[in-house]
Amino acid sequence: MQSSSATPGRAPLMALETALEQLLAAARPSTRVERVATWDADGRVLAADLVSELQVPAQDSAAMDGYAVRVADLSAADQVLPLSQRIAAGQAAQPLRAGTCARIFTGAPMPCGADAVVMQEDTRTVGGNLHGVHIQTLPTPGQWVRRAGEDVARGAVVLPRGTRLSPASLGLAASIGLVQLPLCARLRVALFSTGDELVMPGDLAPQQMPPGAIYNSNRFFLRALLQRLGCAVSDLGIVPDQRAATQAALETAANDHDLILSSGGVSVGEEDHVKPAVQQLGRLDLWQIAMKPGKPFAYGSVRRGAGGDADACHFIGLPGNPVSAFVTFLLLVRPFLLKLQGALLPELPVSVLPAHFDLLRAERRREFLRVRRNAAGGLDLFANQSSGVLSSLVWGDGLLDHAAGHIIQRGDPVRFIAFADLLH
């Protein structure tokens, strides 16, 4: 679907969904696999199904500290059963003698013949542990018992190929005895910025900055975003606004990387050298996306040596404005990188929350506003929505997905995308 907000004589702006669809169609998952210690696999993507060779728990076990009993031995509450054994986690249990109970602790195996656990809060010892236990409540079969295999069945796929591993996933892999995991190899991403106005923090003190100079903030957050996605990042720094320097950086990066990511310099100005350099070394599509912030976006490829188009490195050029670069990374580059890693792509979680503000000016483009949830369960709007105001991303905790051509009145339900769902 194309936006209708095109200027006469120009191609219509591309819908965000169309841009994402084309990006994902170009992303062929990497086939490189490496085995990595389970300790070190957080955030990585599984290259194969994990199949359990055992069941978890291995046998019926206690879910609570208390006493293992045979329900048939208890006809009513307030009975006393002799204590026949004590079972701790990791110990073997003897069969439960009829008419007795066993002291048992969480995780300990249930003795053969026992079918319930009475939690210790519902008991009282009589004459010390050697004499017996007063069972104060009548248990039901299966009470406080973890059944064998209730967590993981033998032969089950516990985590499918394409799973992006979380701390809980690592625990699950460890629970079936896996010390190493087959993972998609880290994507190799070359990162650079363009612009003679850019200065690295530390190179010049604020009072020494010449007119028009700005500190390079994009380099810092883009590198962090890439690393959070498990990428191996080569930081090529700031490339001068020169055609030869830009072409040399692209040629060097293409040979050893899966993706070249740049910010700035993909427009059509006299000092924008990325476009002609990429076109000379490969191919480039300049997309004008019907979104705000982030309309200018470039995707293409750079040939590796004499390999031709069939052996090329992906190239993505982001806008230079920091909020535009940040938002387009989250909505377009992130899913592209996840697919390159072979990751499963779930639907983006979207919440519907009330707007606690008025926005009575309708935009021609779909807008992603920086907002923050408040104590009343609604959304507050950051006052300055300019694409250069990086502080809006720190103040906010998500984006409001605002359709083109609509206004927002206080109390209206709106679509909210939490940064927490985009930054893990």
Same domain assignment for residues 321 and 212:
yes
Same domain assignment for residues 288 and 200:
yes
pLDDT value for 2: 42
pLDDT value for 307: 55
Cα(299)–Cα(264) distance, rounded to whole angstroms? 13
**Structure-block tokens of residue 39:** 């300790």
Neighbouring residues of 256: CB distance < 8 A, sequence distance ≥ 6: 188, 190, 234
Same domain assignment for residues 219 and 304:
yes
Residue 8 lies in a domain: no
CA-to-CA separations, 325 to 221, 328, 414, in angstroms, rounded? 10, 5, 24
Residue 364 lies in a domain: yes
Cα(379)–Cα(319) distance, rounded to whole angstroms? 27
Neighbouring residues of 390: CB distance < 8 A, sequence distance ≥ 6: 217, 322, 323, 326
Same domain assignment for residues 47 and 84:
no
Q: Are 260 and 190 in contact (CB under 8 A)?
A: yes
Q: How many domains does the chain have?
A: 4
CA-to-CA separations, 220 to 188, 201, 333, 394, 419, in angstroms, rounded? 17, 10, 16, 14, 17
Q: Are 315 and 282 in contact (CB under 8 A)?
A: yes
Same domain assignment for residues 135 and 216:
no
Radius of gyration of the chain (CA): 30
Domain that holds residue 84: 61-146
Q: Which phi and psi angles does 105 have, rounded to 5°?
A: -120, 155
Chain centroid to Cα 133, Å, comes to 50
Neighbours of 2 (CB within 10 A): 12
Same domain assignment for residues 357 and 266:
no
162: domain CATH number is 3.90.105.10
pLDDT value for 227: 95
pLDDT value for 266: 66
Residue 271 lies in a domain: yes
21: domain CATH number is 3.40.980.10
Q: Are 222 and 234 in contact (CB under 8 A)?
A: no
Q: Which residue has the tokens 């040399």?
A: 248
Same domain assignment for residues 108 and 215:
no
Residue 2 lies in a domain: no
114: domain CATH number is 2.170.190.11
**Structure-block tokens of residue 132:** 């017996």
Q: What is the DSSP secondary structure assignment for residue 56, as one 8-state letter?
A: B
Going from the first residue of the chain to its last (424 residues), give the mean pLDDT of each consecutive group of 10, the final group possibly shorter.
50 91 94 96 96 96 97 90 95 96 97 97 80 91 97 97 96 97 97 87 91 91 96 92 89 94 72 82 90 93 74 92 96 97 91 97 95 98 96 98 97 98 90
389: domain CATH number is 2.40.340.10
CA-to-CA separations, 176 to 157, 184, 418, in angstroms, rounded? 11, 21, 33
Same domain assignment for residues 106 and 193:
no
Same domain assignment for residues 192 and 284:
yes
Length of the chain: 424
Same domain assignment for residues 139 and 197:
no
**Structure-block tokens of residue 108:** 């300990």
pLDDT value for 5: 52
Neighbouring residues of 224: CB distance < 8 A, sequence distance ≥ 6: none
- Please, what is the Cα angle at 332 between 327 and 338, to 5 degrees? 120
Cα(61)–Cα(111) distance, rounded to whole angstroms? 9
Q: Are 197 and 213 in contact (CB under 8 A)?
A: yes
Same domain assignment for residues 231 and 118:
no
CA atoms within 13 A on the CB side of 293: 25
Same domain assignment for residues 292 and 169:
no
Residue 9 lies in a domain: no
pLDDT in tens, 242-270: 889 899 999 999 999 999 999 986 655 54
Residue 6 lies in a domain: no
